[in-house]
Amino acid sequence: MDAEYFRMLFAWHWWAWEKVLSQIEELSAEQYAAAAPLLNEGSLRATLLHAWDVEETWLCRSQGIEPGDEPSVEDVPTLADLRDRWRATESGWSSFLTDLSDVDLATEMRYGDSQRQYVNPLWALMTHCVTHGMQHRSEVAMVITELGHSPGNLDFIIHVTRLRAGRE
What is the mean predicted confidence (pLDDT) over 124-147? 97
Residues 6+ apart with CB under 8 A from 73: 33, 43, 45, 46, 49
Please state the φ and ψ torsions of residue 35, each to the nearest 5 degrees. Answer: -60, 135
Q: Which fold has domain 3-164?
A: Four Helix Bundle (Hemerythrin (Met), subunit A) (1.20.120)
pLDDT digits (tens, 9 = 90+) for 92-135: 999 999 999 999 999 999 999 889 999 999 999 999 999 999 99
* Residue 113: predicted pLDDT: 85
Rounded Cα distance, 60 and 107, in Å: 15
Q: How confident is the model at residue 159 (pLDDT cuts 50, 70, 90)?
A: very high
Q: Hey, where are the domains in the chain?
A: 3-164
What is the mean predicted confidence (pLDDT) over 131-152? 98
In the predicted structure, residue 152 carries a pLDDT above the cut 90: yes
Q: How confident is the model at residue 167 (pLDDT cuts 50, 70, 90)?
A: confident
Rounded Cα distance, 155 and 62, in Å: 25
Torsion over CA of 165, 158, 167 and 83, rounded to 10 degrees?
-150
Average pLDDT over all residues of the chain: 95
Rounded Cα distance, 51 and 42, in Å: 13
Do residues 6 and 97 lie in contact, with contact meaning Cβ atoms separated by under 8 Å?
yes
Rounded Cα distance, 8 and 118, in Å: 27
Residues 6+ apart with CB under 8 A from 90: 14, 55
In the predicted structure, residue 162 carries a pLDDT above the cut 80: yes
* Residue 168: predicted pLDDT: 63
pLDDT above 70 coverage of the chain, percent: 99
Please state the φ and ψ torsions of residue 2, each to the nearest 5 degrees. Answer: -125, 115
